[in-house]
A = this chain, B = another copy of it.
Amino acid sequence: MAKFLTSRAENYSQWYNDLVVKAGLAEGSVVRGCMVIKPYGYAIWEKMQQQLDKMFKETGHVNAYFPLLIPKSFFSKEADHVKGFAKECAVVTHYRLKNDPDGNGVIVDPAAKLEEEYIIRPTSETIIWNTYKNWIQSYRDLPILCNQWANVMRWEMRTRMFLRTAEFLWQEGHTAHATKEEALEEANKMIRVYAEFAEKWMAMPVIMGHKSETERFAGALDTLTIEAMMQDGKALQAGTSHFLGQNFAKAFDVMFATKDGKQEYVWATSWGVSTRLMGALIMSHSDDNGLVLPPKLAPLQVVIVPIYKGLEGLEKIRQTVAPLMAKLQAKGISVKFDDRDTQKPGWKFADYELKGVPVRLAMGERDLENGTIEIARRDTLTKETLPLEGIEQHIENLLEEIQENIYKLALERRSKLITKVDSYDEFKQLIETKGGFFLCHWDGTPETEARIKEETKATIRCIPFDSVEEEGKCMVTGKPSNRRVLIARAY
């Protein structure tokens, strides 16, 4: 088989970039830091969206849409938010072009300068809370459980497709509650929705936990995260859910009348996942032959490649597999019969491997005679020849098995790369040699956190929900610590 990709062992980073482009997921664009999401990549994103949207609606949320542009002054209203967000962003200053008097195309019309500049949303807390102000008068108006599917823009200096791009697609949930308890419960509920999606749909195990104060979302009192391990042992923050307290309600003066008639500030959460999940999906399962997609998110689950001589042979195969295709479709399984005559079967095999189609069927003349079909699974790259009769049930089971198997492989890989370490020297050595996730004691101070980051490029990914209480000493300062935190280098 022709090798399309740099191997992971050779250059992991290059392998990723190759794969994104060659599998037709995305490509760079002329716009700095922005990508084009190509049809095959977008089809996977759509599958993700559909399932997430379903889960949001099942948990009582509704969708809405808020303006792309945010008045500049809004960013100054919440003190921590402005520090975190309002800096590297796209600024709209004018609203008109005019013909260049010198005849060189168009120029910005200096007369069309905005009184106040607008920022392309890097996130929408400010514009949404300014809107919620008009929606909320009394406890009867609460909770508000809105989600928005949207594009956002952050002028990142170093970009990588899907992982960090200037423009990206995401969803942002923004909820408003009458009590602190309810907001905390919401933030908690949604990080669990993300974890369930990651594990059951993306087949990607994640560790849930609290972010350290330093790593919190700008304006949040608590940030919950799901952290996944990529095949190179690095961590990827795959989704976050923020308890915002009353910060945005205070910044935008959003109060409500309680049942007792008192005026109180509203409690808030926000939570989001983005096209970054595409990067996480790719790096969780794929191999040197290309993508490995979990069947639940694969745009095409089964492909049938005919191996034939002449149009008559092709027609025989087509007629033989037609009932199978109908049966698979009736089970809700997507299937394609690839009868292109512009490509040879071997080329098609390699291409479907590159694209991560979970199950590939091939039928040749001998199969026609024997009533058999060849079935190949993408995850293990194994194949066998089976009777055509009843194969649809086998395929249905196999898709489930593949879904489970790639989760299991990812979990096993992660288990081998989670290390408990108590000495900073050992940590510094192992982060270079072994890599992966480390469970260590930390004294809880931003100073120690900053030192670890500076000296090892590793960061505190989270304080895991399931971290057990135990007496310990910070591996750096020796100060007391009562639970281990998760530390790793990260994307």
**Chain A residues close to B by CB (< 8 Å):** 27, 29-31, 34-39, 42-43, 46, 62-73, 75-76, 82, 86-98, 104-106, 108, 117-120, 127, 130-131, 134, 140, 146, 150-151, 153, 155, 167, 169, 342
Contacts and interface: CB of A to CB of B under 8 A. Distances in A.
Given A30-B71, A42-B62, 8 more contacts: A29-B127, A31-B70, A36-B65, A76-B105, A88-B95, A92-B120, A108-B117, A140-B342
- Which 7 A-B pairs rank lowest in CB-CB distance, beginning with the nearest? A76-B105, A39-B62, A37-B65, A34-B67, A91-B94, A31-B67, A95-B155
Contacts of A127: 29-31
A87 B82 contact: no
A95 B105 contact: no
B69 A93 contact: no
A63 B91 contact: no
13 contacts: A29-B127, A29-B131, A31-B67, A34-B69, A35-B67, A38-B64, A39-B62, A39-B64, A69-B90, A89-B95, A92-B92, A93-B93, A120-B120
Choose among A64, A86, A119 the residue with the greatest number of B CB atoms under 10 Å from its CB.
A64
A488 to B, nearest CB: 30
A97 B106 contact: no
Nearest to A39: B62
B82 A64 contact: no
Nearest to A93: B93
A118 B167 CA distance: 13
Contact of A91 (B68, B108, B131): B108
A279 B393 CA distance: 48
Contact of A97 (B39, B64, B72, B150): B72
